[in-house]
Structure 1
Amino acid sequence: MYIYIDESGDLGFSSKSTKYFVVAALVTEDKLRIEKCITKVRKERLPTKYKKISELKYHNSNGVVRRRILQCIAKTDSGIAYAVLRKRQVYENLRTKPNILYNFLCGYMIGNIFRKYHINNKVEIIVDRSLTGINREAFDEYVGYRALMSKAEIFDPDYLEIRHVDSAQDKCIQMVDFVVGAIARNYEHEDSSFYEIIDEKVEIALDFFKGKIK
């Protein structure tokens, strides 16, 4: 089992900050099928500028590319989980502790994934190493703890591996970037046009502090 994690938004609280912070996961046992989405889209007729950049990302792609990527993901045998933080509801004493907020969101989401999928064999959690405000050691320790403390079936801690990778070198991390971008747009801009493409793949949706949606 592979769990790919990415984020959208920021954990700042200034007037220029985003209203929401979203972390999302793409869960699959067939990462090759996910990787083929990028390869497939790159082979299609694209504007020249997309053929020159080394990494396709949600923010630097137009609507056509976003739809093609998301439609391809929607056809794969994978699941999507996400947690969204409504930042205006965050307590004042936590607003200066982005690492705690980030680890809690990811850890809570991972715990739900382990319960949902009854994980009892080898699992890799792959994270974009460029994620903002992340303390890798603290992240690995907390997320690992939440995974092991979840109510999943008996799970051997030796089966868990957490890796921080360069997104430019990992096509599946690039895919989850499009997923979390679509989810964030649904909240931040109240535009569900991209989210609707992947809605049926969403198996876990956690809204802080409204509660669990799925």
Structure 2
Amino acid sequence: MPIYVYIDESGDLGFNLNKSSAYFIVTALFVSDFSKLDKIIKKLKKSSFQKEFIRHGELKGYKSSTKLKITALKKLNEIENLKILHIILYKEDLFSVCLRYNSIQLYNLIATIVAEYIPFENESLEVQIDKTKAKQSLRDEFDQLFSEKLFLFSSCRLQNDVISHSDSKHWSGLQFADLLAWSKYQEIYHKNSIFINCIDDSKQEEYHVTEKSFKRKNKMEP
């Protein structure tokens, strides 16, 4: 059985001092049995949160109620072999003008850092990322860079050499990845740890992005 990887983000890649977010966070959720995520969502939909799911259609960081978010996050602690990876960019640390004005390239460079820090060894990975790119050519660019980094930095490999770009409404793993990225943003920027602290620290890791991060050539570099 593969390890299932779900990737989503919080924040934006703009650099307008008055309108843009201060941070951009990519979160990857790793789980060996995706059906356990499905079961959590199904139970929540049949509980007192039923009306919320009818109204919003899915679990969402910026839409769901505080009670629903906390309940859902705490349920993740019950899943064995679950890991969470946060990739964090503080925009003031990014000085490259080229990257500041090329959001697609910047997104790819940040999001594919996930491939450099896979918390498993010698596993087959089934990767799903929230669908943000409309053009197939842009999705292909991301897939190629992710695969290259996986080859350089990890003993894991993509199952069937495929990365799925999917609508989160249809995938519980992407809904949880969205909620986790949102929760990390609340902690980092708003100093509100009530959500991310619902998850055991032993299940989470984080890496802070600098421009040097984009130039790593092998696993041994810091």
Q: Which amino acid aligns with 1:103?
A: N
When the two chains are superposed, the root-mean-square deviation of aligned CA atoms in Å is 2.5
Aligned to 1:62: 65
1:110–1:146 contact (8 Å) kept in structure 2: yes
CA-CA distance at 1:147 after TM superposition: 0.5
Flag structure 2 segments of 5+ consecutive residues without an equivalent: 214-222
Which whole-Å deviations, capped at 9, do the CAs of 1:99-155 have from their partners, x for residues lacking one?
Answer: 222112222222111xx311x2421110111369992111101011101111x33x5
Provide the aligned length of Structure 1 versus Structure 2: 207
Alpha-carbon separation, structure 2, partners of 1:158 and 1:200: 29
Aligned to 1:26: 29
Alpha-carbon separation, structure 2, partners of 1:157 and 1:66: 31
Alpha-carbon separation, structure 2, partners of 1:186 and 1:3: 23
CA-CA distance at 1:56 after TM superposition: 2.2
Aligned to 1:200: 201
Q: Give the TM-score taking structure 1 as reference length.
A: 0.87
Which whole-Å deviations, capped at 9, do the CAs of 1:150-169 have from their partners, x for residues lacking one?
Answer: 1x33x566654211111111
Alpha-carbon separation, structure 2, partners of 1:43 and 1:58: 20
Aligned to 2:92: 88
Flag structure 1 segments of 5+ consecutive residues without an equivalent: none
2:53–2:59 contact (8 Å) kept in structure 1: yes
Alpha-carbon separation, structure 1, partners of 2:115 and 2:74: 25
Percent identical among aligned pairs is 26
2:58–2:169 contact (8 Å) kept in structure 1: yes
Aligned to 1:12: 14
Find the partner of 1:38 among 36, 41, 60: 41
1:112–1:204 contact (8 Å) kept in structure 2: no
Q: Give the TM-score taking structure 2 as reference length.
A: 0.84
Distance 1:156 1:33, change over 3 A: closer
2:129–2:165 contact (8 Å) kept in structure 1: yes
